[in-house]
Amino acid sequence: MRRVAFLATATALTFAVTTVTTSTAANAFTPPNIPSVTTARSELAALTVDIERNSGTYDRSLFPHWITISGACNTRETVLKRDGSGVVTDSSCYPTSGRWTSPYDGATWTAASDVDIDHMVPLAEAWRSGAYAWTTSKRQSFANDLTNPQLWAVTDNVNQAKGDSDPASWKPPLTSFWCTYAKAYVDVKYKWGLTVQSSEKSALSTMLGYC
């Protein structure tokens, strides 16, 4: 990453721009630690099947995000830089240009405002699956998880269509992504000790069959 300063001598204004050098293939950037299909199937088998609880007490504010990750960059901006191509940010870390390809629908965007950062396992789904019993600190870690395949840069209206649905009631429009989606979803639930419903487990098993 290099920082370039442009000085406008006539107006005595200084503009700082941070250029992030990335590959030219926007869809080459994905969250880390997506498991193999063999590992995902083992993790799915190990998940506890249970009913969902406390759905009426969910509040998004119980999962603090986006938090500062480095310098001026918060979690959203960090993911946009990680998953985009040719991303340029201003001094506040806001992406002023770049290119993002949404794995959910295959659409490509050049404006950060068209891109949402999706929680692979939705926050409300996590709450119903066990996060209601967590501390606020643990919920914050979950909502800003950059270690596991939890945060994805996707088309905004596709993310909004997903809402807080699990794979039993919503799947990505691109069936070619179902395998990766299921692997990531299972892994996040497994790593965080969350439960699954029987219908959810069945849907995940079906999607892993596309691998």
pLDDT (0 to 100) of residue 42: 98
Q: Are residues 126 and 194 in contact, defined by beta-carbon separation less than 8 angstroms?
A: yes
Give the closest residue to 89 by CA, choosing from 102, 98, 99, 79.
98
pLDDT (0 to 100) of residue 30: 83
Contacts of 119 (CB under 8 A, 6+ apart): 126, 143, 150, 151
pLDDT (0 to 100) of residue 17: 32
Domain count, the chain: 1
pLDDT (0 to 100) of residue 26: 36
pTM for this entry: 0.87
User: Residue 199: which domain range?
Assistant: 2-208
Please list the alpha-helical segments (H only) found in 52-177.
Answer: 75-83, 123-128, 136-143, 156-162
pLDDT (0 to 100) of residue 19: 35
- Which residues in the chain show pLDDT less than 50? 1-28
Q: CA dihedral defined by 31, 32, 37, 39, rounded to 10 degrees? A: -140
